[in-house]
Structure 1
Amino acid sequence: MTITMLPPLSPQRVHDENALPAAAGGADFGPLPEWDLSDLYPAPDAPELTRDLDALERACAEFARDFEGRLLSLSPTKMLECVERYQQIDILAGRIMSYVGLRYYQNTTDAARAKQMSDLQDRITDATTKLVFFSLEFNRIPDARYTEVFSAKDGPARYKPVFDRMRAMRPYQLSDELERFLHDNSVVGAAAWNRLFDETTAGLTFDVDGEQWGLETTLNLLTDHDRARRETGARALAAVFGKNVKLFARIHNTLAKEKAVEDKWRQMPTPQTARHLSNHVEPEVVEALRNAVTKAYPRLSHRYYALKARWLGLDKLQVWDRNAPLPGETPRLIAWPEARSTVLEAYAGFSPKLAELAQPFFDKGWIDAGVKPGKAPGAFAHPTVTTVHPYVLLNYLGKPRDVMTLAHELGHGVHQRLAAGQGELLSATPLTLAETASVFGEMLTFRALLGKTTDKAQRKALLAGKVEDMINTVVRQIAFYDFEVKLHAARAEGELTPEDINALWMSVQAESLGPAFEFMPGYETFWTYVPHFVHSPFYVYAYAFGDGLVNALYAAYEDGLPDFQSKYFDMLAAGGAKHHKELLAPFGLDASDPAFWDKGLSMIEGFIDELEAMEN
């Protein structure tokens, strides 16, 4: 367990190269909201920020003075005091880094913002080095003593799930000196390479018909109604990714090697082990998910894309056709007020409480929606700390998929608000469950729109869009996971050239997308900008986990499971206090059952069945 160094963002929702919708240059979506970060600090030079930095440094020094070398002898009451003081330090550090991190993500090319984030991260790293002893010494407490202290009525029993997860790292714990070194070195290790990646991708420009466009708007051409425009966007992306591929290969080589070195010292059995431990999920559960999805490729993505090729009148799909609008689908840009009302009404249809929890995001400056130079790409929800509230970042460009992204990120935000009641240490949800509320929010919004649609062509377009989103969330993410597995295995054998990484990428693309596709020269470099591979290795399976889980949950909801809404809110409010088995038991679900994943995949198949039936 470590103090947060960077904002604990839910990883950016860039499922793939078509994750965001097509833009219309200069379109008027109505006033788009911007963040009001004053709930964290009034300004970057605010005295409150200086005060909290000083308080953090004092709190770390006093914590080490009072508890280092004494954890084994603490009474239950004293252990509770120790844990709660640690939690307050976590809140202080999280508040500071949330503020400077969110300002940085608003404009990653602003040198002053980047400098402040780097300087404060250095300062907080120095202060919290004094706390490295805590998890190391705690994990040396014998099991019998640990059980005694954490089962006492006047002790820290409610925090036991946090420390159970921490103690799962015991077999992989290094010496105190090495752990301190890794802590101190973090700011010039992965964090520095992450920053290089962020600033590089934010600064890329693409030549589109003689105009220089940013990454977001160029990516969004890939869902344009005009096929020539989609091809222009794809080729512009390929040209720039190709020019920068050596830098991105260096970033991936370095991060994969750094991870391999640390994993070797910790004696982690696989590169994925650390992610599974942090997710509090068993490797066999992830493997069952992965196997169920790859087995389903022919009846999901291969089948759907063959259908889409017929709709488009093509013998083969090109990569720029994958998320193309359907023939006859009317182009429509959705103004921000309509997007807002669409999502809130869908949420309210499930429960007024859900809409009430989402409402303040729109009213109080908790969303930053516009596309701006230097702004981080994609979308995310950041919980900040439990004493404040989450913030949502979007790059809103007015297409239906943007509305779904809004529904998705608000789901995260609502989840984070509900889980905040657990307190800082218990609020964080393992990534396998962190996508539950977001994907459920999308499903509610989709079902609400589908229920209002009587026109056959519009219904077909909605269903096709949902199938494509689900394929992106399930099939593509498992393909991404396989790419990472291959990448880290290959890096263990030596330095990877850009061509080596390109080949690994294309191997999973062909397998997952199927025979309906041809791949243009240059597509082999499209791994370069996907942020998950850099920021959160092996995160991507959490999207597929969340989609399968939500499909099973939604089936229980449609079947009229008694008290579903109250059970759902209880699950979200649990945060990280319960294991996925406990959380799913009230719904009669068990993710460790291999058949569980087939239930979720069958919902996607059902939508494809309906689309095929429309052909007759």
Structure 2
Amino acid sequence: MSKSSTTGSTSAAGIRWNLGDYYKSPKDPAIERDLKQALEQALAFEKKYRGIFTKKPPVSGKMLASLAKDYEAVCALRDRPHYYAHLLHAEDSQNPAYGSLLQQMQQRSTEISKHLIFVNLEWCAVDEKTAKKLLADPACARYRHYLEAARRYKPHQMTEPEEKIVDEMANTGSRAFSRLFDQMQGAGKFTVNLKGKDREMSKEVALNLLYDPDREVRKAAADGLTAGFEQMVKPLTFIFNTLVTEHATIDRLRSFPDPMASRNLGNEIDGRTVEALLETCDANYPLVARYYRLKAKLLGLKTLYDYDRYAPLAGGLPKCTWKEARALVSASYHSFSPLVGKIVDEFFQKDWIDAELRDGKRSGAFSCSGPVEVHPYILMNYTDSMRDVSTLAHELGHGVHQYLARKQGYLQCDTPLTVAETASVFGEMLTFHRLLDIQKDPKVKLALLCAKIEEAFATVFRQACMTRFEQQVHASLRKDGELPTEKINALWMEANKAMFGDSVKLTDGYAFWWSYIGHFIHSPFYCYAYSFGELLVLSLYSLYRSEGKAFVPKYVELLTAGGSESPETLVRRVGLDIAKKSFWKKGIDLIAEMVQEAEGLAAKLAAGPRKAKA
């Protein structure tokens, strides 16, 4: 059989970002200049502020604010070269020069950080009464939330020498294995047999074939992906085990009570609230099965296999070129807010987006915030599908959020993960409803509705399912030690079967599909933030539809606030209470309404046009 190779050619060919706002090139002398200056500033910072909280006279609120401002400046300068190296490595993980640069930046960053570690430890050592008095000083207003949040880590801190060791060892531990995972994924080639010919392609192109209308193509793509995942699974199992073991070690050293506790602390969310979210998702898994039974009926299939889940409906969604996607997404944001629309246009006009398909390029999509004096950059892999239009809207939502939040400064521009998905999913909703409103063909409307339901399922239920899988993996490793591939596969299948019930038949090969999901490697327990964000956005969008333009300033204010307040406080600004279990159910009820609408539209189409009475 003949074999051909492709990374896939799409209308986004040539759409590459220009990283010149960071540095001119990897050899730009400004990189070394910034690193040297950051180290000098860190040394000066340490000399000026070490021991300040125990010296006489007592530190004032003005001095604490000065400390925070200087700390922010050092951190921003330290991280700028690292962000640049990260983006270069994402655009081509197979370039050894980029890999080398990333490793160097990690090491240099660690060297600078050694002189900064003391500050959080000493700040957390300040007694509660003194800390409250300092934080109440108006001089500390800008940094108040950051300083308050830092003290929440007090029970989990180690000594300064230990903190330095942990940070430095991460370069040859978690950071190294995360990089290895990315390189393996970027180098991965998958052989898919299409009409008797073996075609070698990237993972992104193969995954996109799961949306093909031809069932044989979908099955061939799934078979090719499974074979590729299985071929790589042994080293990926080792990487996963290593990082889960390291996670357990760090939790033990820092006295975290369970594997999710550190993530919840970083997200500024109570573990009980997260469990309420997950339990609400668990309890509503039957909604997933209900929809996929409808999908099987619409496709005319007796059995819906895992590779059929994303099959388009007959007469369904058309392809969408990059130019069309740009116009649609831009118009969607402009119709919501001219201010937001103008920010979105900057991403296109100033080459802040990398969208073409390339060998070695990181899979998936992300928006990278970076230092506040630069701007966000977006990476995605555009394949001309309507699904990628949604991804573009999603990442631009992140970009807008990051762009606006720069006003809070480097220490408070980033939001906890739970709120980080707010603007991205809201952007998807804006684009979806614009598409739905302009569409006249009921078949296309049904296809759009089904696609949106599937996105909601992927964002709410699938992410909750993946979180349950992670919980089981971490718990099993802590109980039984290193897990073989077969055990991880079994836990993956168990979690997915709980979600799909009897509505989807999972093939044996699907057991290996945990192995390409980067969040398990890079950001343990990240996934529930997607569920959180989607259900939050459904409530926000409901408010927008009822309040109209009066909602827009409140929403922009919410985004501009960045991480300057806790998620609960931020959301309360627009009248929502995430602490209540009923809040999560309300969001799922809105998804159920979409499923009901799809069922009704499908029934009308099945009945055919009504005949006029004689």
Is the TM value for this pair above 0.5? yes
Distance 2:12 2:141 in 1: 50
Match of 1:179 among 163, 168, 177: 163
- Consecutive unaligned residues of structure 2, counting only runs of 5 or more, are 604-614
The separation in 2 between residues aligned to 1:297 and 1:570, in whole angstroms, is: 35
Show the counterpart of 2:437: 451
In structure 2, the residue matched to 1:13 is none
* Cross-structure match for 2:491: 504
Identify which of 177, 187, 192 aligns with 1:203.
187
Residue of structure 1 aligned with 2:213, choices 219, 225, 247: 225
Q: Provide the secondary structure at the position in 2 that maps to 1:374.
A: coil
Question: Match for 2:69: what amino acid?
Answer: E
Closer, same or farther: CA 24–455 of 1 in aligned 2, 3 Å: farther
Q: Which has the higher mean CA deviation after the structures are superposed, 523-532 or 125-134?
A: 125-134
Q: Please show how residues 375-524 of structure 1 align to structure 2 within 5 Å.
A: 375-493=361-479, 494-524=481-511
Which position in structure 2 is the counterpart of 1:274? 262
Q: Residue in 2 aligned with 1:42?
A: 24
Match of residue 610 from structure 2: none
Q: Could you tell me whether the CA contact under 8 Å between 1:104 and 1:113 is conserved in 2? A: yes
SS, match of residue 384 in structure 1:
coil
Amino acid at match of 1:569: V
Counterpart of 2:177, as a letter, is: W
User: How far apart, CA to CA, are the structure 1 residues paired with 2:85 and 2:441?
Assistant: 48
Aligned residue for 2:609?
A: none
Report how far residue 271 of structure 1 moved.
Answer: 0.5
Secondary structure (helix, strand or coil) at the match of 2:378 reads strand
Aligned counterpart for 1:597 among listed residues 559, 574, 584: 584
Contact 2:281 2:460 in 1 (8 A): yes
Aligned to 1:91: 76
Offset, 1:327: 2.4
Counterparts of 2:69 and 2:567 in 1: how far apart (Å)? 25
Q: How does 1:125-144 map to 2 (within 5 A)?
A: 125-144=110-129
Q: Structure 2: how far apart are the matches of 1:290 and 1:144?
A: 37
Q: Which amino acid aligns with 1:192?
A: A
The percent identity for this pair of structures is 38
- Name the residue aligned to 1:351: 337
- Displacement, 1:328? 3.0
Q: CA deviation at 1:581?
A: 2.4
Q: Is the 8 A contact 1:24 1:397 kept in 2?
A: no
Q: Counterpart in 2 of 1:557?
A: 544
Cα displacement (A) at 1:251: 0.8
- Corresponding residue for residue 322 of structure 1: 309
Q: 1:64 aligns with which of 46, 51, 72?
A: 46
CA positional deviation for 1:562: 7.0
Counterpart of 2:351 in structure 1 is: 365
* Equivalent in 77, 80, 85 of residue 62 of structure 2: 77
User: 1:55 aligned to 37, 48, 51, which one?
Assistant: 37
8 Å CA contact 1:222, 1:320 repeated in 2: yes
Q: In the alignment, what sits opposite 1:193?
A: 177
Of the structure 1 ranges 537-546 and 574-583, higher mean CA displacement relative to structure 2 is found in 574-583
Contact 1:216 1:377 in 2 (8 A): yes
**How far apart are residue 561 of structure 1 and its match?**
6.0
Distance 1:188 1:25, change over 3 A: closer
Partner residue, 1:295: 283
1:6 maps to what in 2?
none
TM-score normalised by length of structure 1: 0.94
Code of the residue aligned with 1:289 in structure 2: it is L
Alignment of 1:245-260 (within 5 A): 245-260=233-248
Report deviation, 1:65. Answer: 1.3
Kindly tell me: are residues 446 and 386 of structure 1, through their superposed partners in 2, closer, same or farther at Cα, counting changes over 3 Å? same
**Aligned-partner SS, 2:191:** strand
Aligned in 2, Cα 1:41/1:267: closer, same or farther, shift over 3 Å? Answer: same
- Once the two structures are TM-superposed, the CA of residue 586 in structure 1 deviates from its matched residue by 3.2
Structure 1 residue 147 corresponds to structure 2 residue 132? yes
Tell me which of the two structures has the higher relative contact order, counting C-alpha pairs closer than 8 angstroms and 6 or more residues apart. 1
State the match for 1:117 in structure 2: 102
Give the 5 Å matches for 1:579-598.
Answer: 579-598=566-585
> Structure 2 residue aligned with 1:236, among 224, 235, 243?
224
Deviation at 1:261, TM superposition (A): 0.9
Select the structure of larger CA radius of gyration.
2
The counterpart of 1:567, out of the listed 554, 558, 566, is: 554
Tell me the CA shift for residue 137 of structure 1.
1.1
C-alpha distance in structure 1 between counterparts of 2:487 and 2:249, whole Å:
21
Tell me which moved more, 106-115 or 80-89: 80-89
Residue type of the alignment partner of 1:45: K
Runs of 4+ in 1 over 3 A off after TM superposition: 23-28
Selected match of 2:85 from 100, 118, 142? 100
- 1:504 and 1:530 mapped to 2: Cα distance? 15
Q: Work out whether residues 71 and 79 of structure 1, in 8 Å CA contact, stay in contact via their aligned partners in 2.
A: no
TM-superposed deviation, 1:156 = 2.1
* AA aligned opposite 2:521: V
Pick closer, same or farther for the CA change 1:355–1:24 going to 2, 3 Å. Answer: farther
Q: State the Cα RMSD in Å.
A: 1.4
Deviations 1:558-602 (A, max 9, x none): 112672000000000000111222222232210111100111111
Q: Equivalent of 1:546, from 508, 521, 533? A: 533
SS at match of 2:397: helix
Contact 1:367 1:391 in 2 (8 A): yes
SS at 1:381 equivalent: strand
2:115 is paired with a residue whose SS is helix
Where does structure 1 lack aligned partners over 5 or more consecutive residues? 1-22
CA distance in 2, matches of 1:122, 1:28: 38
Contact 1:165 1:277 in 2 (8 A): no
* Alignment CA distance shift 1:274-1:30 (3 Å): closer
Among 125, 147, 152, the residue aligned to 1:168: 152
The separation in 2 between residues aligned to 1:382 and 1:314, in whole angstroms, is: 41
Taking the aligned partners of 1:193 and 1:484, their CA distance within structure 2 comes to 18
How many angstroms apart in 2 are the aligned matches of 1:609 and 1:183? 51
Q: Which amino acid aligns with 2:42?
A: C
Q: Which residue in the other structure is 1:5 paired with? A: none
CA shift, 1:615, in A, is: 3.1
Task: Kindly state the Cα deviation for residue 256 of structure 1 after the two structures are TM-superposed.
Answer: 0.7
Q: Which of 253, 265, 276 is the aligned partner of 2:253?
A: 265
| Structure 1 residue 138: Cα displacement | 1.0
Contact 2:369/2:375 (<8 A) preserved: yes
Q: How many residues are treated as equivalent by the alignment?
A: 591
Determine if contact 1:33/1:362 at 8 Å carries over to the other structure. no
The answer on whether the counterparts of 2:12 and 2:355 sit within 8 Å (CA) in structure 1 is no
- 1:71 Cα deviation (Å)? 3.0
